[in-house]
Structure 1
């Protein structure tokens, strides 16, 4: 069985076996489609899926476009644009709210927000829920799986966020997720426009990503099906989000962390832009080469025990993955069942979107099988020169 057949089999067999109800995939090599397809009832390559955390790099690119324009600087404090996050207090003990707080040693910077070192977020090494997450839930903010209709508008969301002490000093620790929501508000305020407008103008439009957005337009709603929970002990799934559910209309808070819907072709178009140093298919520049290099360069050190690191709004591998992605590969996964990674050593981009949420932070077997097939390099060599 050749590589193309292995890629397709990894997905179609998982659907046939009932691991997921449906999935679409696309694997490119140096910009050329190697494998593209879909499996499951009503699923095809044009199906719209909920990206969840694979949203993060796409929104980060919009921020880097504003850096290119000089509307943002990576090392500028966010205090002027986000006064709700100025003059922060920091927990003495991130696991014990009763231990008290101290003043923040410095302001939060734009770089801190992009690298998730602003002092707020999910701590995968500590107890759950952390005092920070408990306080955010108590303030009225959703802290569970993506729920785009549950959060208040951006100004109120940030005001509530600003009532909670930081769990770490700015620049000190990588804490997951909340930085992406803050980044979306920062982009909108820096540009003086709503985040969906900025994203459409600076990233989605130039790349022809017509199936991507915060909510699905009426013309594409027949391409958004239901989303499912993993099977329970009885083997049955529940509908997590109906076809006409939370992503079927624009949210009050367009969350830069997990709010987008998209297609395999759109995600591949975004990946190709980064591969080409920031250019759209027609040659227009979406990002400068410097911005792309900054995004895709590891910035914070290990974020897990499996060789993962973080750049500016995007995952970047620190070490080679045995039989898979090389160090320097970049992309991200989403807990609602999405994954995109690009390996700059082999030139391979692999996108897998499914309609079932993960049961844990660890990828289900399908994702490991798909990556193994997609990033296998046996039998071919990168172009010389």
Structure 2
């Protein structure tokens, strides 16, 4: 690991670039965090709401969407460290809904055209997102299975909406009624695996997923503002959430500040995208991961578990069809992407992290002891990284001296 320093002049350039999004009205407000070694620089700009005057704050609580996934994987690996799970164990003991799976003969098969699964689903299959079921990256109506996912409110075909998702046991029952899309271990598929990980953690630990996260991750890391909902006393720190209407060319409210879906505890605690957090809280998680599982004097994860999470866990065959997510430069570890080659300057091999569809991005670079966290409240328009992500990572990487 090489320790560089942050160049203040180039961080000022990063501020100018990011603030341009605010001044143009593209994004109401932004919080950025850039850290190198023990040096941490946080920048705050803009407002909490499109039509409001309240300024964005360092401790703003953002809906972090899919950067929840690395946390779900870390929780699972804590149970592996505890000896309560093993990577190649079948999950059927805890998730009987996933026993005796049927698999679509082809993706375009009707739901009753299936074959038996070749084997049981394992903990590893869930961690590396190859258990056989996930988001379908195709136009609505392309495949039969898409409508069944939508009818069951199982998520993965659009942004998270906690109020529409059934409770945990009902969610699992509905999932268990559907065939898998691919054989266990055959193909990487996005999103659903991490939701199942949350259920697995809850059932193995015999407590709620959120309760386990609080005890084993959030409290040890000092992540006091991270959870599946925002307490009433902190709702003034929750910004509006917006999508972009391409016809009107305006931002439209998707989730409000005062009557937010995240002001209430959800029926289903989503490991794929349900958490709220702050830039500083999420940095604490990233720093623990970069410190190989250690926070201060406390070990949260074993070094072996962090190493497993942050290295490529897929074969080229498993990545087939996922080029939209990985391009030619990255792959997937446990719950997060891992950079394999330097397609862009900031894509340093070994870099790990992920992006969130509600406008969040967080990656760690072990080679430079570097962490970046970007928090916005504008939803992504497509699976391709938006310009604000690209500009943030380009500018943050340029701020590294050495």
**TM-score category, normalised to shorter length:** over 0.9
Secondary structure in 2 aligned to 1:39?
A: strand
Instruction: Judge conservation of contact 1:212–1:262 (CA < 8 Å) in 2.
Output: yes
Which position in structure 1 is the counterpart of 2:345?
Answer: 323
Q: Does 1:256 align with 2:271?
A: yes
Instruction: Judge conservation of contact 2:59–2:237 (CA < 8 Å) in 1.
Output: yes
Per-residue deviation, residues 273-303 of structure 1 (Å, max 9, x unmatched): 001110113x111101001001001111444
Which position in structure 2 is the counterpart of 1:336?
Answer: 358
| More displaced stretch, 331-340 vs 222-231 | 222-231
Counterpart CA distance in 2 for 1:329 and 1:345 is 8
1:69-148 matched pairs, under 5 angstroms: 69-97=82-110, 100-124=113-137, 128-129=140-141, 130-142=143-155, 143-148=157-162
1:358-377 matched pairs, under 5 angstroms: 358-376=380-398
1:154 shift after superposition: 0.5
Instruction: Judge conservation of contact 2:89–2:122 (CA < 8 Å) in 1.
Output: yes
Q: Does 1:202 align with 2:196?
A: no
Which position in structure 2 is the counterpart of 1:155?
Answer: 169
Q: Does 1:178 align with 2:192?
A: yes
1:98 shift after superposition: 6.0
Instruction: Judge conservation of contact 1:75–1:109 (CA < 8 Å) in 2.
Output: yes
Which position in structure 1 is the counterpart of 2:63?
Answer: 50
Taking structure 1 as the reference length, the TM-score comes to 0.94
Counterpart CA distance in 2 for 1:336 and 1:180 is 17
Counterpart CA distance in 2 for 1:31 and 1:309 is 28
Q: Does 1:347 align with 2:333?
A: no
1:28 shift after superposition: 0.3
Counterpart CA distance in 2 for 1:98 and 1:26 is 46
Per-residue deviation, residues 71-125 of structure 1 (Å, max 9, x unmatched): 111110001100000000000101222681100000000000111101000243x
Instruction: Judge conservation of contact 2:194–2:335 (CA < 8 Å) in 1.
Output: yes
Counterpart CA distance in 1 for 2:245 and 2:175 is 34
| More displaced stretch, 240-249 vs 138-147 | 138-147
Which position in structure 2 is the counterpart of 1:192?
Answer: 206
The verdict on how the C-alpha distance between 1:85 and 1:330 changes in structure 2, with shifts beyond 3 A counting, is same
Aligned residues: 377
| More displaced stretch, 322-331 vs 348-357 | 322-331
Which position in structure 2 is the counterpart of 1:6?
Answer: 13
Instruction: Judge conservation of contact 2:70–2:353 (CA < 8 Å) in 1.
Output: yes
Instruction: Judge conservation of contact 2:227–2:275 (CA < 8 Å) in 1.
Output: yes
Taking structure 2 as the reference length, the TM-score comes to 0.90
1:133 shift after superposition: 2.6
Per-residue deviation, residues 311-331 of structure 1 (Å, max 9, x unmatched): 011111121132212111100
Q: Does 1:28 align with 2:35?
A: yes
Q: Does 1:38 align with 2:44?
A: yes
Which position in structure 2 is the counterpart of 1:269?
Answer: 284
Q: Does 1:61 align with 2:74?
A: yes
1:250 shift after superposition: 0.9
Gaps of 5+ in 2: 1-7, 48-54
**Aligned residues: CA RMSD:** 1.6
Which position in structure 2 is the counterpart of 1:357?
Answer: 379
